[in-house]
């Protein structure tokens, strides 16, 4: 990464491609055929809006990297990705000739049609937004299509120094955005409106400070999102609430969140906030949630299986007699996607490695009353963990 740039460098993308090519040689596959937009972004740095129109990146074992897609993406690719050396376009979807038939023809021209191809979609397309069409595997009967998802996905588990830098920059602005949200929280206000106000002001400050160094890579109306997402009062007891019908009231417990995309990477910061003064019941659940997070944080270490972190947090909640308040595992990998493997779950035996990044988010949920959840983004180290998000966690600091 060139000093000051807030995207993954071209040199790192070239290194990722070289690693993929080495894996292709070992597996005797002639090419990797990718349709998933996250895998394409991770590999080449090219970001696009995945629609019903098929689009595929092809990385051959040797030779030219090329893309096949709708004509509307051709100029976009030429403008934003020098690593994609050729683009083969079709007019639009579904077309008089289906796009996947165009793709099969290109692969034949590239002499890949009669070989083993690793792919993340044997159908040949991401398949979203109402897509229908013939399967690429059916059109290329002489080829052998094998699962190639792990060629990219396994590389994503351990983060590079550049990825950590982007996540830290994301966290820095998420923390500022959350400060602005706290300033706007008050009885009588609706959570959606205060979230929009804080998001706007945080984005304005970020753009003013970073200027041309910043580039948004993920599709969204704003790269800064901070708010409560409906987790207000009794609604905070719904872990994935989406909307609150009522305004904030004095005494409410809120579960807040802040995320800022930087170079395609987004950290996760969530906090439990009390409006007014916490009663004894609120204090009790808050303290147990905090003990559970502390127990999880103390369990992170290279060489530790993921399920042990979940077990440590769960034990702290069970010891307090609140096992029935648990609704989900304790966290997940995070990086270019908001949720990535491995998972901090009883069924996850993956051993943590130095450089892996996780959310740590134990939650207690009491239907009809409130929910209590902090989430921090952390990096695994040889001897434990380091915070990527650094934000106050105490009830005193999180009382409005």
> What percent of the chain is predicted at pLDDT more than 70?
99
Q: What is the pLDDT of residue 346?
A: 96
Distance CA 316, CA 313 (A): 5
Q: How confident is the model at residue 392 (pLDDT cuts 50, 70, 90)?
A: very high
Q: What is the pLDDT of residue 4?
A: 61
Q: What is the pLDDT of residue 20?
A: 98
Domains and CATH numbers, the chain: 10-154 (3.40.350.10), 161-387 (3.90.230.10)
pLDDT in tens, 312-333: 999 999 999 999 999 999 999 9
Q: What is the mean pLDDT of residues 353-378?
A: 98
Distance CA 143, CA 380 (A): 41
Q: What is the pLDDT of residue 2?
A: 43
Residue 18 CB contacts under 8 Å (≥ 6 apart), including other chains: none
Give DSSP secondary structure letters for 110-146: TT-TTSEEEES-TTSS---TT-----HHHH-TTSEEE
On the CB side of 303, CA atoms within 13 Å amount to: 3
Beta-strand runs (E) in the chain: 31-34, 56-60, 66-70, 86-90, 116-119, 144-147, 224-227, 253-262, 265-266, 269-274, 331-333, 340-344, 357-360, 363-366, 370-373, 376-380, 385-387
pLDDT in tens, 220-259: 878 999 999 999 999 999 999 999 989 999 999 999 999 9
Distance CA 309, CA 296 (A): 5
């Amino acid at each position: 990464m060139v000093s000051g740039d807030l995207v993954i460098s071209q040199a790192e993308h070239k290194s990722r491609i070289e690693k993929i090519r080495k894996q292709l040689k070992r597996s005797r596959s002639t090419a990797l055929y990718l349709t998933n937009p996250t895998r394409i972004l991770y590999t080449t740095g090219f970001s696009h809006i995945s629609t019903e129109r098929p689009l595929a990146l092809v990385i051959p074992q040797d030779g030219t990297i090329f893309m096949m897609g709708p004509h509307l993406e051709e100029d976009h690719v030429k403008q934003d990705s020098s690593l994609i050396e050729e683009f083969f376009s079709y007019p639009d979807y579904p077309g008089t000739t289906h796009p996947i038939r165009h793709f099969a023809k290109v692969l034949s021209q590239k002499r890949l049609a009669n070989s083993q191809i690793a792919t993340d979609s044997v159908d040949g397309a991401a398949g979203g937004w109402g897509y229908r069409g013939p399967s690429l595997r059916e059109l290329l009967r002489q080829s052998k299509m094998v699962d190639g998802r792990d060629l990219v996905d396994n590389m994503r588990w351990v983060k590079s120094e550049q990825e950590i830098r982007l996540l830290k920059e994301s966290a820095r602005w998420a923390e500022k955005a959350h400060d602005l949200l706290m300033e706007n929280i008050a009885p009588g206000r609706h959570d959606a409106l205060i979230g929009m106000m804080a998001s706007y002001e945080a984005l304005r400050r970020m753009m003013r400070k970073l200027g041309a160094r910043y580039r948004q890579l993920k599709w969204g109306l704003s790269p800064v999102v901070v708010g409560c997402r409906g987790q207000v009062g009794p609604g905070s007891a719904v872990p994935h609430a989406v909307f609150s019908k009522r305004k904030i009231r004095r005494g409410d417990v809120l579960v807040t969140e802040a995320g800022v995309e930087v170079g395609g990477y987004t950290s996760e910061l969530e906090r439990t906030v009390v409006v007014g003064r916490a009663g004894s019941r609120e204090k009790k659940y808050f303290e147990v949630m905090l003990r559970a997070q502390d127990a999880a944080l103390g369990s992170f270490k290279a060489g530790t299986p993921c399920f042990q972190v979940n077990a440590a947090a769960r034990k702290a909640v069970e010891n307090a007699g609140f096992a029935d308040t648990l609704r989900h595992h304790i966290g997940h990998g995070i990086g270019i996607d908001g949720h990535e493997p491995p998972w901090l779950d009883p069924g996850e035996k993956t051993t943590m490695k130095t450089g892996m990044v996780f959310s740590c988010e134990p939650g207690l949920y009491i239907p009809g009353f409130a929910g209590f959840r902090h989430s921090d983004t952390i990096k695994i180290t040889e001897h434990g963990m380091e915070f990527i998000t650094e934000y106050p966690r105490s009830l005193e600091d999180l009382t409005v």
